[in-house]
Chains A and B, each alone.
Chain A
Amino acid sequence: MAEEKATKKSIKKANYLSARESARISRENRKITDELEKKKKRKNVPESEYLTQMRDPSNVLEIDNLHTYFYTDIGVAKAVDGVTFDVPAGKTVGIVGESGCGKSVTSLSIMHLVQRPQGQIVKGEIRFNAGDKVYDIAKMPLEKMNEIRGNKISMIFQEPMTSLNPVFRIGQQVDEVIELHSSDLFRGNAEFEKAQGKDGEAKKARAALIKARTIEMLNLVGIANSEGVYHMYPHELSGGMRQRVMIAMALACEPKVIIADEPTTALDVTIQAQILDILKSLKDKINASIIIITHDLGVIAEIADYVAVMYAGRVVEKGTAKEIFDHPSHPYTIGLMASRPVLRKRVNRLYSIPGKVPNPINMPNYCYFKDRCEMCVEACSGPYPGETALSPTHCVSCYRYAKDDKND
């Protein structure tokens, strides 16, 4: 009984922060975030500051050692803690992991949509190949980012129910995106050049052009009654239709990269199949790369060419879909696959990964998965394992495979 009380007390103590301590933390945080914010909000930043080179020109996006931290009042939460992966042009990359492992924060970092000022990209590069120039998104100032976001890189959000504005018609919402980026989108279009100017005639011509584009987009994602849907409100559409509208919106500006953050999680299986089919066919039609974030391994297997498995803010394993599914190597990947019942494969008991994800504020200094891992080796007590290449494309961060590069 006494022992029980003691453990209870120590647990409480570990979670307890005095007001003074909390104030100190938030003061320190403010200092850091203010400085980062100031840097971001500068005007007329010379382009040379955020121009860079791709490591491999055939990639459209390279994420290199990305760190995104949240400066909260109870400490710094390292949501993304050294993520590295590439997105080749015209390919689909899937990111899998449990909730809270940093999947969404990685994608929000790419879009510069991490909640400010608490959330900040503190380290690392996100190199984006815009065709003629290569930008480092992590260093880009805000005003410049507006030209890329939604235009070159766009995003499909998880919940189609909440990410559409309920008080505007569907058409207006898609129009808005196109109008905002119209100068870029319609470049070289004679009709659009003619419709420049402030008078009513020109405005009307421009609006008609934009509307035509919106309806074309709605048709593209398989909305049959596109003229009708143009005038509808979001509540008049079903979940699947709303998700189609979101996809249409994301595609409107012919982006090079589409980030789909759990695009099918809120949908039924039959509707999910429809949406996956649309994404697959669209990728070929507009030649974009897709980053798909999900916790459903089935979806990943179906749509992705490359897979990155994330755990507690880091990529623990990455490779082609075939490599990951045929030879899962990291214990976490193996556990994740075994914990899911698969259709027509009978098992008596499902494997369940023991324990839970470590606290993001207080990460251990050894392998983050060690406490839940059933395949630990001696070296696991050492620092976080580096990446070991099992094949040119297949990398895993685990000591079980680190044989040759011990000096790493």
Chain B
Amino acid sequence: MIKMIETKTNNKENITPLVHDDKYVLEVNNLKKYFPIKKGLLGSTSSYVRAVDGISFKIERGTTMGLVGESGCGKTTVGRTILRLTDKTSGQVLFDGKEIFDLSPKELRKLRPKMQIIFQDPYSSLSPRLPIGEIIGEAVREHGIVPENEYDDYIDQIMENCGLQTFHKDRYPHEFSGGQRQRICIARALALNPEFVVCDEPLSALDVSIQAQIINLLMDLQEKYNLTYLFISHDLSVVEHISDTIGVMYLGNLVEYGKKEDIFNNPLHPYTKALFSAIPIPDPNVKMNRIVLEGNLPSPANPPKGCKFHTRCSNCMEICKTQAPEPIEVEPGHTVVCHLYNK
């Protein structure tokens, strides 16, 4: 327990505070989120699940950052923490240059419409008791986005922009198909005129042909409103299609981060390479040289020492087992966290 606190304070000292650059909507610096594991009758904390263990990235205005990784690697926790839907353990999150964890509730409330989230499952993220016009408009009214007399027209317009029929306004979510529900979720997020939207696996519950519609819609809306996305997904081909920059996560850390072209043309980290080679290509003529990762993701409550990936890495060296690698900038804007490039 004492040790835990020590490491925490140590980390706090290590942070060099970010200097805000107006180019970026969101800047994340060494963000950590630990969930306590409680044990026993009194619920004393025995250890922590290190869901997010020190990640840093920046997202430029009007671009999309893709966050990929296996399930359980902390992608969703990143998305929730940067919106302050959960509290951080340590680190910095600057939204438009403001540290969101330092804001008072009143200031935070003002900022809320600017940052929105689209959830994974369109079946459970809509209230079954509200007609969809109300689902989309509830927050608009609450935050006073438009004057009272323009409210109805505004909702109609948002629905049209998201490909929904306006006469569906009085219907309830159960009357819609999965693709339409996802459109409702998107409309709900966009009705508040956000600058930044977290898309948390918005496609995984949808059919292939519907996925294409939603991807196109998201990209059209981005162009129209100059939106910034954080696109969380485990589907690499979708991430490649939609993103400008990509971060690859493994067990709460970003192992590789850079521009889409750099990452896809020149993947450096062994995990990124394995992840890319695991995607089946829809062409029977292509024979892949697959790197099959042995075993499963280790538990984030008890991650391996040294480099967290060393237990499954095919290029594991002695140093990997004892010493955690530091981020190395291999080419401008392309960082990798691996001892292989430590020269």
Chain A residues within 8 Å of B, Cβ to Cβ = 4, 7-8, 98-99, 238, 240-241, 268-274, 276-277, 295-302, 304, 321-322, 325-326, 335-337, 339-344, 347, 349-353, 356
Contact = CB atoms under 8 A, between A and B. Distances in A.
Interface stretch (B92-100, B139-147, B270-278, B329-337): B270-278
B49 to A, nearest CB: 16
A240 B70 CA distance: 12
A343 B237 contact: yes
A270 B271 CA distance: 10
Contacts of B237: 340-343
Nearest to A238: B296
A93 B91 CA distance: 52
B216 A350 contact: yes
B18 interface: no
Most buried by B among A8, A98, A268, A349: A268
B15 interface: no
Interface of B: 70-71, 167, 177, 179, 207-209, 211-213, 215-216, 219, 234-238, 240-241, 264, 274-286, 288, 290, 292-293, 296-297
A238 B264 CA distance: 29
Contacts of B215: 341, 350
A217 to B, nearest CB: 20
A37 B228 CA distance: 58
Contacts of A8: 167
Nearest to A277: B292
A258 B179 CA distance: 32
B278 A272 contact: yes
Given A340-B237, A341-B238, A295 B208 contact: yes
Contacts of B282: 297-298, 300-301, 325, 337, 340, 342
B241 A341 contact: yes
A373 to B, nearest CB: 13
A270 B167 contact: no
A99 B280 contact: no
A273 B276 CA distance: 11
Nearest to B175: A15
Given A276-B280, A350-B216, A4 B293 contact: no
Contact of B279 (A238, A274, A298, A347): A298
A120 to B, nearest CB: 27
B319 to A, nearest CB: 24
Contacts, number: 119
Contacts of B275: 269-270
Contacts of B208: 98, 295-297, 336, 339-340
A351 B208 CA distance: 11
The 3 closest A-B pairs by CB, nearest first: A298-B280, A341-B241, A339-B212
B279 A343 contact: yes
B209 A336 contact: yes
B296 A240 contact: yes
Given A99-B207, A341-B215, A343-B279, 8 more contacts: A238-B297, A269-B236, A269-B275, A295-B207, A325-B284, A335-B209, A343-B281, A352-B209
30 contacts: A241-B296, A268-B70, A269-B275, A271-B70, A273-B290, A277-B290, A277-B292, A295-B207, A295-B208, A296-B208, A296-B280, A301-B282, A302-B280, A304-B284, A322-B285, A325-B282, A325-B283, A336-B208, A337-B282, A339-B211, A340-B212, A341-B215, A341-B237, A343-B236, A343-B281, A349-B219, A350-B216, A352-B209, A352-B216, A356-B179
B132 to A, nearest CB: 15
A14 B240 CA distance: 43
B209 A353 contact: yes
Contacts of B293: 270, 273-274
A351 B212 contact: yes
Nearest to B69: A268
Contacts of B219: 349
A273 B280 CA distance: 8
Contacts of A326: 285
Contacts of B296: 238, 240-241, 271
A63 B297 CA distance: 41
A4 B169 CA distance: 13
A180 B236 CA distance: 43
Contacts of A299: 280
A341 B240 contact: yes
A342 B282 CA distance: 8
Contacts of A350: 212, 215-216, 241
Contacts of A340: 208, 211-212, 237, 282
B70 A270 contact: yes
A17 to B, nearest CB: 16
B164 to A, nearest CB: 14
Contacts of B209: 98, 335-336, 339, 352-353
Contacts of B264: 343-344
Contact of A273 (B213, B234, B278): B278
Contact of B177 (A296, A322, A349, A356): A356
Contacts of A335: 209
Most buried by A among B177, B286, B293: B293
Contacts of B276: 343
Nearest to B220: A349
Contacts of B279: 269, 298, 343
A353 B213 CA distance: 8
Given A296-B280, A298-B279, A343-B279, A274 B207 contact: no
A139 B279 CA distance: 41
Nearest to B214: A352
A321 B167 contact: no
A65 B212 CA distance: 32
B216 A349 contact: yes
A98 B207 CA distance: 6
B213 A352 contact: yes
A98 B178 CA distance: 13
Most buried by B among A4, A274, A295, A321: A274
Nearest to A101: B207
A7 B166 CA distance: 13
